[in-house]
Structure 1
Amino acid sequence: MSAAEKKIIIFDDDEDILSICSYILAQQGWQVFTYTDCNDIADRVSAVDPAVILMDNWIPDAGGIIATQTLKNNESLKRIPVVYFSANSDIQLLASHAGAETYLAKPFDLDELEKVINRVLLKTA
């Protein structure tokens, strides 16, 4: 994957998570885009055209499930893998319901974040 293709979007309303994940992913060569809500999600994702999306369950305003389903129902965006992440105990079920490719339970360690992203990228390559 070239540097130009290493774009990732993180949708999360927790500024601490956004800053930590942004820092770590930028260190790994990612161009990171962050949003604290999922309004106009199709337009935002289309404008960036990321390789992968990290989606929080409790993202304002529509929530992660509806936001992910919106992407998966869009012909030009459904190919982009979504990693669903949440502190919910039923994260696996939520991710499946949303249509996400995989999930990451919060709290997570940064090695796990990297592994999950690389795994989902290999599956879609």
Structure 2
Amino acid sequence: MGKRICVLEDNDAIREIISFILEEAQYEVKYFKNIKEFKQGANGFNANLFLLDVMLPDGNGLDLCCELKADSATADMPVVMMSANFSAAEMYSRCKAEDYIHKPFDIDDFVSRVDAQIH
């Protein structure tokens, strides 16, 4: 496999779709359902990109994005945020993510945005 992506998405159906799309595009992917799981498992994976949902059962992906950008170990890692409830302007004003994908997303657009950040 090639590049590695950590995906934080609490919705099982969306996580399954993302899994299919990214693995088909030859990415190695590790999935997390909540922030607690992410914080416990993301460190050892050596990801090349973080793909984060905003609304999560145990917190907010925007806050996690801010934490990742404030940490010297992950500050330079690309972060792509996903949400059905926030606009791109709101996302960019609240965290320093490299990109934002609105749900529901177009599959080709999704892949091209991930590719642009990881290559």
What's the TM-score once normalised by structure 1's chain length? 0.85
Aligned 8 A contact 1:41 1:67 in 2: no
Q: Determine the C-alpha separation between the residues in 2 that align with 1:33 and 1:75.
A: 22
**SS of the residue aligned with 2:56?**
coil
Aligned to 2:82: 85
Q: Determine the C-alpha separation between the residues in 2 that align with 1:89 and 1:50.
A: 25
Aligned to 1:15: 12
1:17-51 alpha-carbon deviations (Å, 9 max, x no partner): 11111111111111111111011644532211111
Higher strand share goes to which structure? Answer: 2
Give the counterpart letter for 1:56 in structure 2. Answer: D
Structure 2 portions without partners, runs of 5+? none
1:72-122 alpha-carbon deviations (Å, 9 max, x no partner): 111011111010010024233224412211100010011011111112224
What's the TM-score once normalised by structure 2's chain length? 0.89
Same amino acid, percent of matched pairs: 26
1:106 and 2:103 are equivalent in the alignment: yes
1:115 and 2:88 are equivalent in the alignment: no
Provide closer, same or farther for how the CA distance between residues 40 and 79 of structure 1 changes in structure 2, counting only shifts above 3 A.
farther
Q: How does 1:9-88 map to 2 (within 5 A)?
A: 9-39=6-36, 41-88=38-85
Structure 1 portions without partners, runs of 5+? none
**SS of the residue aligned with 1:116?**
helix
- Which deviates the most, 38-47 or 10-19? 38-47
Kindly report structure 1 stretches of 4+ aligned residues shifted beyond 6 Å: none
Q: Determine the C-alpha separation between the residues in 1 that align with 2:49 and 2:10.
A: 18
The CA RMSD measured in Å over matched residues stands at 1.6
Q: Determine the C-alpha separation between the residues in 2 that align with 1:51 and 1:25.
A: 13
Aligned 8 A contact 1:46 1:77 in 2: no
